[in-house]
Amino acid sequence: MSQSRHVPVMLQQCLDMLAPALAEPGAVVVDCTLGLGGHSEALLTRFSEVRLVALDRDKEALRLSGERLAPFGDRATLVHAVYDELPDVLDRLGIPRVQGVLFDLGVSSMQLDEADRGFAYAQDAPLDMRMDQTTGISAAEVLNTYPAGELVRILRMYGEEKQAKRIVSAIVREREKEPFTNSARLVELIRDALPQAAKRTGGNPAKRTFQALRIEVNGELAVLERAIPAAVKALAVGGRVAVLSYHSLEDRLVKQVFAAGATSTAPPGLPVVPERYQPRLKLLTRGAELPTEEEVAENRRAAPARLRGAERIREDTE
């Protein structure tokens, strides 16, 4: 069912970026965002000696991917976990170092396409947005219970929404009459709250608010802030990490972690830089790689994607 809709973003570029690290027999690659398993299936197919560890916080995604990856037998280990739990997962599996790590930070096609998850603003659905529906608070609870100032902060920070104050004033006014439960009412409220000029730019006017709520509900940026350094730490020397992000906040965070790892920490003026100050990472992209025009034409969800990669070039000496 959902698998036919699922087109992995920038698949070839991701595989090519990780390829040099996955050539050795016994290499381990971690797919931190399994989703419907498109990237994982391609990794197992192209690198026939590789062992895959795949994480997802969504149990339904794990079930569907499990069916898809079943032909690969024990080469694939699927784990119900959020990606910042990577160190614990590897510890439990007795894997000290890995050769490759992939993050695809987009919302999975399944979550967008299954109406009752509440991720999509294009159809009416319960305002849930939890990637793991067994835990945490829903988007409706955020809308109905957060103080106005906190909602404005979330919309500005996570949605980069310039009209945050206007939208939140309308939300607060409406929730007093009746709590929010479904997405259609929120979409309509946002349309009504925005000035004409703001409605003419950048697609659906609800897009930024929905993005902000999703990031808040799932703690995405806080998780990512822990996960990227953890992934770098888990890499063996020569190992590579590839990260696909879909909005500027994620991309900026990835860029900062990679840039810090690729910079010497030596005090200025040393004639010879000791090993412990040398960069740990080598950047694999100049800036971020973008999807091709052909790919965007075939799969509109690829349009905002940005790919960055880094290679581990030395061990930590501290």
DSSP assignment string, 34-97: -TTSHHHHHHHHHSTT-EEEEEES-HHHHHHHHHHHGGGGGGEEEEE--GGGHHHHHHHHT---
User: Letter for the amino acid at 307?
Assistant: L
Rounded-to-integer distance, Cα 24 and Cα 168, Å = 54
For the annotated binding site for S-adenosyl-L-methionine, the residues are 37-39, 56, 83, 104, 111
- Which two three-digit tokens encode residue 103? 């993050």
- Which two three-digit tokens encode residue 66? 């499990």
Which residues does 301 contact at the CB level (< 8 Å), separation at least 6? Answer: 7, 9, 106, 109, 112
- Which two three-digit tokens encode residue 313? 């070039």
For the annotated binding site, the residues are 37-39, 56, 83, 104, 111
Q: Is the separation of the CB atoms in 82 and 223 below 8 Å?
A: yes
- Please state, in angstroms and as integers, the Cα–Cα distance from residue 251 to each residue in 15, 86, 258, 264, following that order: 19, 20, 11, 22
- Identify which of 203, 172, 213 has the alpha carbon closest to the alpha carbon of residue 189: 172
Rounded-to-integer distance, Cα 30 and Cα 239, Å = 11
- Identify which of 26, 31, 55 has the alpha carbon closest to the alpha carbon of residue 43: 31
- Which two three-digit tokens encode residue 105? 């930070």
Rounded-to-integer distance, Cα 187 and Cα 122, Å = 9
Residue 236 sits at φ, ψ, to 5 deg, of -75, 160
Q: Is the separation of the CB atoms in 39 and 31 below 8 Å?
A: yes
